[in-house]
Structure 1
């Protein structure tokens, strides 16, 4: 295999980019990349220049024959690409601040990937990504799109439904589970098998096998569970975990501990600001570090950003698609017949066998009865929201919110939706056509 490999990163000015560059350098033997194109928009050019120069210094230090190009001309970058990785944020962190703060005014959880905030992020993102897909259909029709842009499940489903591009959604949360188990049992990832059931940011771990032995039973007694820096640290209710018979993702705290999480958000928003405001500070610090002309590696501080390990997932998936390794990875792909209570085109988060032709979803051994209703309710909201994002239909948007388990009443949803749409007007032309 001596084909020139070209990788395009949409949202190349992201603070996460150095982690991806590090991964591509470390795994050059199995993934011989010759060109990396970092793409951003005019508003992100300043960050692209800083991050891009760091990426170039990292590659130079490695001595590998990789060219790193920086551009705000997306079409120039996409020609003949093999992989297109998307990590974009339409509206930048300012829009995330709105997603997190406006719902709080209405007594609703404000979060960037779930609930009303997640829906507005999807509304801003889906049309922008479908535009990118049109360019890909023309300039690199055989490329794989690896989508990290949140809400990853909804965005990937929209791409699969409304374009011809081969898209796979990724998230760093499953990698986080493996990191947690590796530390807990002091074993390498190869000796662990974890089964995931559900949707992106709404999954349960229904099997954990370490060195051939099931560890699920003993883990159900661990009320701490695994968590993330971007989700407040409320402890789980042990009776709930035991009766579920599965380990819930930390994002499920928003559903099972609604009041506590809302209270936590209200308090922290008043004291230290929302998560977006904290991230904005972190990003400013990171970019100051990135500017240092002597820095030629990923700084340790990047791990505080909340998206640690995402490049591991990205590089591992590229390697497996390129080399036909047939290993098992947790991905966001169309359901097919895996969950019989969802439509075949619904995007789910599940273990897959990764082949050169793409991921093959693996049958799940156990879908606890108690989780089916929540998966179905959230998927109903997601599919209505995807349709609203594409059509700009406000009635559909309200129907989607009314179906979301975190929204207490349609009479709360209506004024909240109106305010959020108005605030995001510059990024949502589809909802403001005459």
Structure 2
């Protein structure tokens, strides 16, 4: 079994490698190819990856290359974890929206749109090259904004599934609170990528015992603290929102916070410098503890589970993924991409029935879906007016004066990445 990781020079990659090594019985990889244009990073990450495999006794071969076509040739699955423009572009995404009083964030709002515009054309080019190399290969997208990128891939006819680590993070935390094996925790996960609510928590599958009320009653304070939301908000909602909902539920508070501290991109850039120095140590043969602060917790477990199911190697029967709506949420178009529990196998992901969705959540889901449709149109066809309309439609912006200003700032900061600008 051959897997390729596009963006293999990422400092995230050792987390992925550690999962591949530990879970080799679930996903028996014989060849793993890390591809990245950044030669210095790729050499450091590749060296550590080989040492991790060797220490854990994984027999698979790890190859590093800058040649995308060679990397994906004969690959059974290709994982995408790239960042067009690097942390410098992310830093821009997180700062210039604040000038207009809007949240600066890399996956939602104006910054999220900027990232989508930079990323979608690049990902579609990669996907076409994967299709030419092996039309049966699965593409697993971890590249943000996952919902928009996955929608672009599926609209172009690619075999793709989107993946995020939010759900598995909740699964692990809830399991800890309940004192059970994480595999027993089944989430009623509803919404879009980075716009989800846990409306149900059951033990032992979708038909198991409902424990969400018990979870909120006994551990609501800890859950609220993790989300940085007041406990009464959880009690009034009766569900657990993703921590990304804080950008919506406490927008002005978050803007003030972001204006008074360094950007997350600046923090990550400093962390990455330290991590790369660690990776260069020939004695290091495991992922360092610092990597846990980088983000992407449990990404490797989620990626292994998904790849194993798509390739018929095993995997959990139900997984939270990003895939086509196809009637699951009747208030959305069939071709919308939702993040939901799905049955995953060789033929892809089939969403489980979601049941009625409270209008309190459905309204926001529908609004952001409309924005994502306009965002994808702007990413595919370009043009100032399309960017403006996407920003105007976004519930975190929604005023024409802000949308106009943000459009100008977005284009000014991203011109080198936008073929039409």
TM-score computed with the length of structure 1 as normaliser: 0.92
Unaligned stretches of 5+ residues in structure 2: none
Structure 2 Cα separation of the partners of residues 377 and 6 of structure 1: 40
Q: 1:420 to 1:355 in 2, by over 3 A?
A: same
Partner of 1:353: 343
Q: 1:357 to 1:324 in 2, by over 3 A?
A: farther
The answer (yes or no) to whether the contact 1:99–1:121 under 8 Å persists in 2 is: yes
Two-structure CA RMSD over aligned residues (Å): 1.5
Structure 1 outlier segments of 4+, above 3 Å: 210-213, 218-221
2:84 maps to 1:128: no
User: 1:91, CA displacement in angstroms?
Assistant: 0.1
Partner of 1:168: 161
Find the partner of 1:401 among 349, 374, 391. 391
User: 1:241, CA displacement in angstroms?
Assistant: 2.8
2:101 maps to 1:101: no
Q: 1:52 to 1:412 in 2, by over 3 A?
A: same
2:278 maps to 1:305: no
Partner of 2:187: 194
Structure 2 Cα separation of the partners of residues 364 and 183 of structure 1: 25
Q: Deviations over 1:40-73 (max 9, x none)?
A: 12xx221111101111111222333211111111
* Structure 1 residues 206-225: aligned runs within 5 Å: 206-210=199-203, 212-221=208-217, 222-225=220-223
User: 1:325, CA displacement in angstroms?
Assistant: 4.8
Structure 1 Cα separation of the partners of residues 128 and 84 of structure 2: 18
The answer (yes or no) to whether the contact 1:226–1:250 under 8 Å persists in 2 is: no
Structure 2 Cα separation of the partners of residues 281 and 204 of structure 1: 32
Partner of 1:259: 252
Partner of 1:60: 54
The answer (yes or no) to whether the contact 1:206–1:366 under 8 Å persists in 2 is: no
Find the partner of 1:245 among 234, 238, 252. 238
Partner of 1:344: 334
User: 1:157, CA displacement in angstroms?
Assistant: 0.5
The answer (yes or no) to whether the contact 1:223–1:235 under 8 Å persists in 2 is: no
Partner of 2:16: 20
The answer (yes or no) to whether the contact 1:171–1:331 under 8 Å persists in 2 is: yes
* Structure 1 residues 250-399: aligned runs within 5 Å: 250-268=243-261, 273-321=262-310, 322-323=312-313, 325=315, 327-399=317-389
SS at match of 1:323: coil
User: 1:227, CA displacement in angstroms?
Assistant: 7.1
Q: Deviations over 1:330-388 (max 9, x none)?
A: 00000001000111010000001111221111001341121111001101011100010
Find the partner of 2:171 among 153, 158, 178. 178
Deviates more, 1:25-34 or 1:113-122: 25-34
User: 1:242, CA displacement in angstroms?
Assistant: 3.1
Partner of 1:236: 230
TM-score computed with the length of structure 2 as normaliser: 0.95
Deviates more, 1:345-354 or 1:185-194: 185-194
Aligned length: 415
User: 1:326, CA displacement in angstroms?
Assistant: 5.8
User: 1:38, CA displacement in angstroms?
Assistant: 0.4
Partner of 2:27: 31
Partner of 2:5: 9
The answer (yes or no) to whether the contact 1:338–1:362 under 8 Å persists in 2 is: yes
Structure 2 Cα separation of the partners of residues 194 and 243 of structure 1: 20
Structure 2 Cα separation of the partners of residues 104 and 97 of structure 1: 12
Deviates more, 1:310-319 or 1:122-131: 310-319
* Structure 1 residues 132-171: aligned runs within 5 Å: 132-162=126-156, 164-171=157-164
Partner of 2:401: 411
